[in-house]
């Protein structure tokens, strides 16, 4: 009797998650995405990442929550969601976070080593960023 290689079941789970069959993951139109699981003090934490490189700019979205991103907006997220955002290689590299607060997401921008609330202009940047990350 043949046995199934040990990594095949894991590969199938990853494929199911990213094709929409199964729980978790991102819902996006296209880009490179990955998922990893870490065991910290007996508790498993899963990280989902989307990375897109275009014209020398790398955009990255990372979260441990199940979120949906469509048309440049986060359309679904759980309570206590934290979405980390990074853009490097452009004229103005940025690090930001979307933090759930009272059922809404707030944009926080890393500025001189500390986070501050995002401005209206940075909210516009966020929309362009999310559109780019999720567009083919």
Which residues span the domain enclosing 129? 25-134
The number of domains in the chain is: 1
Residue 44 in domain:
yes
Residue 13 in domain:
no
pLDDT at 6 over 60: no
Residue 19 in domain:
no
Residue 20 in domain:
no
Residue 37 in domain:
yes
Residue 9 in domain:
no
Give the pLDDT of residue 135. Answer: 81
Using a pLDDT cut of 90, give the percent of the chain over it. 47
CA distance 85 to 28: 15
DSSP helix/strand/coil, 49: strand
Distance of CA 24 to the CA centre of its chain: 12
Residue 6 in domain:
no
Residue 58 in domain:
yes
CA distance 91 to 26: 28
Structure tokens at 35: 């998922």
pLDDT per position as a tens digit, 20-68: 444 444 433 334 555 555 445 555 557 889 899 988 999 999 998 888 8
Beta carbons within 8 Å of 49's beta carbon, 6+ residues apart: 33, 34, 35, 36, 60, 61, 62
Q: What is the mean pLDDT of the chain?
A: 76
Q: Give all strands (DSSP E) within the chain, no chain letters.
A: 32-40, 43-54, 57-63, 68-70, 73-76, 82-88, 94-101, 104-111, 114-117
pLDDT per position as a tens digit, 20-30: 444 444 433 33
Least reliable range by pLDDT among 28-37, 73-82, 119-128? 28-37
Structure tokens at 97: 């976070």
């Amino acid at each position: 009797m043949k046995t199934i290689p040990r990594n095949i079941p894991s590969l199938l789970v990853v494929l199911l998650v990213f094709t929409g069959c199964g729980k978790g993951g991102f819902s996006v139109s296209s880009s490179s995405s990955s998922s990893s699981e870490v065991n910290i003090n007996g508790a498993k934490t899963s990280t989902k990442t989307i990375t897109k490189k275009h014209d020398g700019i790398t955009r990255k979205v990372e979260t441990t929550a199940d979120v949906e991103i469509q048309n440049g907006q986060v359309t679904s997220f759980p309570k206590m969601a934290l979405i980390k955002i990074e853009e490097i290689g452009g004229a103005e590299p940025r690090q930001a976070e979307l933090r759930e607060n009272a059922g809404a997401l707030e944009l926080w921008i890393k500025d001189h080593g500390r986070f501050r609330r995002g401005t209206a202009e940075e909210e516009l940047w966020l929309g362009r960023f999310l559109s780019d990350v999720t567009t083919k």
